[in-house]
């Protein structure tokens, strides 16, 4: 249990870090990390995951009954088969955890959750003032600094077309702040690997910063006291960004080695690219961003209700609306249920690729995956019109993961019963395990509070 004194200490550290973004300050000082960086990948999907979709087909009758009744239980995955749609990650069963029974009622539910599912608050229909705190991915990024600190990717759209360019994201770097994200593979590629594919643009950025720095230094020479300090801060902020750019330049060899090949279909936002083609390209970019060390935390909205689904196997000609699937509408005679499953299979293929590639990349005595946690979860809990009483997570974690959950199907006590855990507890677990001693992350569940049930802190059974 963390007492108030060290809680304040950690808060002060967090406040200090805000003065200069962690990544910048660490980079400016030169990283001295002794172990490989910790990596986190958050993959958000829309339309919910219905808890029974994760139930293991080989459950015993007793297990089946417990699971159906939402009673706490735990089984080893190696003794069971995975549901059909999880088969692409079957080779990684030892790294897999299926975490059931979490709730997310304190975040937005219904069709969308926006940033709230990763911040454990109500976002007031995505209003800026509703963003209450930095989302969990940004909190973890502070613990694992990198040049980009955090990268957000999304494949969303307006039902008929995909969004492209740099657009508003779903994560939040801090209260009342909305992150931006790369909405198509080409944009993500251009922005992330700029130092290699467009060194001229980086040079001109540096020239601009150098000019600005000299200008501010000149102005500050005429000032005294606190006013001088203000400009000194401005100057040191410019210096820090220049230091980051230098670091990026130094990384250009590594970036060049790992830069993915992008299919020309993604040019100009990729209007002709199918959904699986876009997903594949995003996976390539996501993996490259991690492998090159540009970032250690990626949040990827693999789909949202407005993401057009085009070109999926068996329904190649259909223009599928995820929203319509939620209302049970089928396409070309294929039922909504089946298409939902096909979409999930497509997602799992991408997850499997991420794991496979990271496992194939050596780091220390093992592979990059050893230091990685990949989380696949619904943005809005248990269904298309979710209530948030269940928020399943599919987690793949490497051998150095600080959580004790790999290889297990875990069902926690159901919502608003003794021992129940919320996404707030889950995120607290991640933070505590990786170095932030925060007492509790996120808002509390009000029904738990009404019933006077304890809901503070991490999920002890998952702490290694």
Partner 1 sequence: MINLQRMIKRPVFTVGSLFSITIMMVLPCHADKAAQPAPFQLPKGMEKLLYENCYACHDEWEQEGDIRLDQLATLEPDTRLDLFNKVQEQIYFGQMPPKKEKIQPTDAERTTMLEWFSAELKKHNASKLEDKKRMPEYANYVDHGKLFSGEYKHLKAFTPDRRWLISEFIFDAKFNRILDHRPMKTIDGQRRGVIGDNGRRANLTNPFLLPTNTGVRYYANATLNGGHLLTMLTNAKNAAVYMTDDLAKRDNSYLPSFNAIVAEEDRHRHILASREEFLSHFIEPVLVDLYKEKHNALLPQFKSVAEEAPAVRGVGKTKKAGFASANPGRTEMEIVFRSMRKHQKHCKTDEELIRKCEQDWFYFGHNLRKTQARVTFLQGYMEEWRDEIKTHKWDQRYKPRIYRSLDQAEMKVIADTIIKFRKKGDRYQTIIDQCMAHWAQKFEQERAAADPLDDALVASLVSQVFIKIHERVPTDEEAGKYLHLTKSYIKSLGNRAAVQKLIQTLILRSDFVYRAEFGQGVADDHGRHRLSPRDASYALAYAITDSSPDQELVKAVKEGRLNTREDYKRQIMRMLKKRDQYYVIDEGVQRLHHTASITNLPIRKLRFFREFFGYPKMLPIFKDNKRFGGNYDMAKGRLVGEADRLVEHILNKDKEVIETLLNTEDFFVFHSGDNKAMKASSERIRRIYEYFKDMDWQNFTVEDLAKHKEFLGEVKMRGIDVKSLVKKGRRDPARSFKTAMASFSLRFDKGESAAAPYVSFPAHGPYNASTRMGMQLRAPEVAKFFNIKLDDWNYPAAQPAKMIHRKGILTHPAWLIAHAQNTETDPVVRGKWVLEKLLAGTVPDTPITVEAVVPEDHHNTMRTRLAKVTEKKYCWTCHERMNPLGYPFEMYDDFGRYRKLESLEHPDNLLKKGPNKGAAHVDLRDIYKTLPVDSKGRLFGTGDKKLDGEVGNAIELADRLSRSSRVRQSVVRHAFRYFMGRNEFVSDSKTLIDADKAYLESGGSFDALIVSLLTSDSFIYRKPSGTSEH
29 scored as a contact of partner 1 (CB under 8 A) = no
Give the residue with the Cβ less far from partner 1, 107 or 252. 107
Spatial separation of the C-alpha atoms in residues 304 and 154, rounded to whole Å: 9
Q: For partner 1, which residue of 10, 25, 71, 436 counts as binding (CB under 8 A)?
A: 25
Which phi-psi region, left, alpha or beta, contains residue 110 (left: φ > 0; alpha: ψ -120 to 50)?
left
The answer to whether the beta carbons of residues 107 and 113 sit under 8 Å apart is yes
How far apart are CB 300 and partner 1 at their closest, in Å? Answer: 19
Determine the interface stretch with partner 1 among 66-74, 90-98, 210-218, 394-402 (rule: CB under 8 A).
210-218
Which token pair is 155?
Answer: 């494949």
How far apart are CB 246 and partner 1 at their closest, in Å? Answer: 15
Give the residue with the Cβ less far from partner 1, 321 or 397. 321
Determine the interface stretch with partner 1 among 157-165, 361-369, 371-379, 428-436 (rule: CB under 8 A).
157-165
Spatial separation of the C-alpha atoms in residues 306 and 227, rounded to whole Å: 49
Spatial separation of the C-alpha atoms in residues 269 and 264, rounded to whole Å: 10
Q: For partner 1, which residue of 68, 79, 84, 174 counts as binding (CB under 8 A)?
A: 174
Which token pair is 259?
Answer: 């830069």
Q: Per-residue b/e over 369-403, b at no fewer than 16 CB within 10 Å?
A: bbbbbbbbbbbbbbbbebbbbbbbbbbbbbebbbb
The answer to whether the beta carbons of residues 101 and 117 sit under 8 Å apart is no
Give the residue with the Cβ less far from partner 1, 216 or 379. 216
Q: Binding to partner 1 (CB under 8 A): which residues in 96-115?
A: 106
Give the residue with the Cβ less far from partner 1, 57 or 174. 174
Nearest to 306 by CA among 154, 187, 126, 166: 154
Give the residue with the Cβ less far from partner 1, 98 or 183. 183
3-state SS string for 282-307: HHHHHHHHHHCCCCCEEEEECCCCCC
The answer to whether the beta carbons of residues 302 and 310 sit under 8 Å apart is no
31 scored as a contact of partner 1 (CB under 8 A) = no
Q: Binding to partner 1 (CB under 8 A): which residues in 189-208?
A: 200, 203-204, 207-208
Q: Mask of contacts with partner 1, 401-440, x by CB under 8 A? A: ----------------------------------------
Q: For partner 1, which residue of 156, 179, 195, 428 counts as binding (CB under 8 A)?
A: 179
The answer to whether the beta carbons of residues 81 and 58 sit under 8 Å apart is yes
Q: For partner 1, which residue of 57, 199, 329, 435 counts as binding (CB under 8 A)?
A: 329
Residue with tokens 């009954």: 65
**What residues pair up with 375 in beta bridges, in sequence order?**
42, 395
335 scored as a contact of partner 1 (CB under 8 A) = yes
Determine the interface stretch with partner 1 among 122-130, 293-301, 363-371, 372-380 (rule: CB under 8 A).
122-130
How many Å is the Cα radius of gyration of the chain? Answer: 23
Determine the interface stretch with partner 1 among 51-59, 81-89, 331-339, 364-372 (rule: CB under 8 A).
331-339
H runs (alpha helix) in 163-274: 185-192, 194-197, 199-220, 225-250, 252-258
Q: For partner 1, which residue of 68, 360, 446, 464 counts as binding (CB under 8 A)?
A: 446
Q: Phi and psi dihedrals of 46, rounded to 5? A: -95, 180
Q: Binding to partner 1 (CB under 8 A): which residues in 1-20?
A: 3-5, 8, 15-16, 18-20
Give the residue with the Cβ less far from partner 1, 211 or 250. 211
Give the residue with the Cβ less far from partner 1, 106 or 401. 106
How far apart are CB 127 and partner 1 at their closest, in Å? Answer: 4
Q: Binding to partner 1 (CB under 8 A): which residues in 261-320?
A: 272, 274, 308, 310-311, 314-320
Q: Binding to partner 1 (CB under 8 A): which residues in 124-143?
A: 124-130, 132
Burial class (CB in 10 A: 0-12, 13-18, 19+), 163: buried
The answer to whether the beta carbons of residues 179 and 149 sit under 8 Å apart is no
Q: For partner 1, which residue of 53, 249, 324, 349 counts as binding (CB under 8 A)?
A: 324
Other C-beta atoms closer than 10 Å to the C-beta of 336 total: 18
How many whole angstroms from its chain centre is CA 189? Answer: 18
- The crossing angle, in degrees rounded to 10, of helices 199-220 and 225-250 is 160
Question: Which CA distances in Å does 15 have to 32, 149, 172, 270?
Answer: 21, 17, 16, 41
Give the residue with the Cβ less far from partner 1, 57 or 159. 159
Give the residue with the Cβ less far from partner 1, 67 or 149. 149
159 scored as a contact of partner 1 (CB under 8 A) = yes
How far apart are CB 362 and partner 1 at their closest, in Å? Answer: 32
Q: Binding to partner 1 (CB under 8 A): which residues in 213-252?
A: 215-216, 219, 223-231, 233-234, 236-238, 240-241
Determine the interface stretch with partner 1 among 92-100, 174-182, 364-372, 421-429 (rule: CB under 8 A).
174-182
353 scored as a contact of partner 1 (CB under 8 A) = no
Give the residue with the Cβ less far from partner 1, 385 or 402. 385
């Amino acid at each position: 249990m963390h007492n108030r004194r060290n809680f304040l200490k950690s808060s002060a550290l967090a406040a200090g870090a805000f003065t200069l973004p962690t990544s910048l300050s660490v980079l400016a000082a030169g990283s001295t990390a002794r172990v490989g960086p910790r990596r986190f990948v958050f993959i958000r999907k829309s339309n919910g995951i219905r808890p029974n979709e994760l139930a293991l087909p080989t459950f015993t009758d007793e297990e089946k009954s417990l699971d159906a009744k939402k009673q706490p239980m735990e089984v080893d995955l190696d003794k069971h088969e995975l549901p059909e749609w999880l088969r692409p990650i079957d080779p990684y069963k030892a790294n897999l955890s299926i975490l059931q029974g979490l709730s997310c009622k304190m975040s937005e539910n219904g069709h969308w959750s926006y940033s709230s599912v990763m911040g454990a608050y109500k976002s007031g229909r995505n209003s800026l003032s509703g963003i209450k705190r930095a989302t969990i991915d940004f909190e973890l990024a502070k613990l694992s600094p990198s040049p980009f600190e955090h990268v957000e990717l999304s494949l969303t759209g307006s039902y008929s077309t995909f969004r492209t360019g740099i657009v508003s994201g779903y994560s939040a770097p801090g209260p009342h702040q909305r992150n931006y994200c790369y909405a198509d593979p080409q944009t993500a590629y251009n922005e992330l690997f700029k130092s290699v594919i467009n060194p001229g643009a980086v040079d001109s950025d540096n020239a601009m910063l150098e000019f600005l720095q000299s200008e501010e230094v000149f102005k500050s020479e005429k000032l005294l006291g606190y006013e001088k300090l203000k400009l000194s801060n401005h100057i040191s902020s410019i210096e820090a960004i220049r230091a980051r750019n230098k670091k990026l330049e130094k990384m250009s060899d590594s970036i060049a080695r790992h830069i993915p090949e992008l299919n020309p279909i993604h040019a100009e936002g990729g209007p002709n690219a199918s959904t699986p083609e876009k997903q594949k390209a995003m996976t390539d970019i996501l993996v490259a961003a991690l492998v090159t060390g540009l970032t250690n935390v990626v949040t990827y909205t693999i789909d949202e209700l407005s993401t057009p689904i085009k070109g999926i196997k068996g329904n190649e000609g259909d223009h599928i609306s995820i929203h319509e699937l939620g209302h049970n509408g089928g396409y070309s005679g294929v039922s909504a249920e089946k298409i939902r499953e096909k979409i999930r299979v497509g997602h799992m293929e991408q997850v499997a690729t991420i794991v496979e590639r990271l496992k194939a990349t050596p780091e220390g005595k093992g592979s990059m995956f050893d230091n990685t946690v990949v989380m696949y979860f619904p943005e809005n809990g248990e269904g298309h019109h979710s209530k948030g009483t269940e928020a399943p997570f599919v987690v793949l974690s490497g051998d150095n993961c600080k959580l004790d959950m790999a290889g297990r199907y875990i069902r926690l006590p159901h919502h608003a019963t003794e021992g129940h855990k919320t996404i707030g507890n889950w995120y607290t677990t991640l933070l505590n395990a990786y170095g932030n001693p925060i007492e509790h992350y996120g808002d509390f569940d009000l029904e738990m509070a009404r019933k006077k049930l304890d809901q503070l802190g991490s999920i002890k059974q998952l702490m290694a």
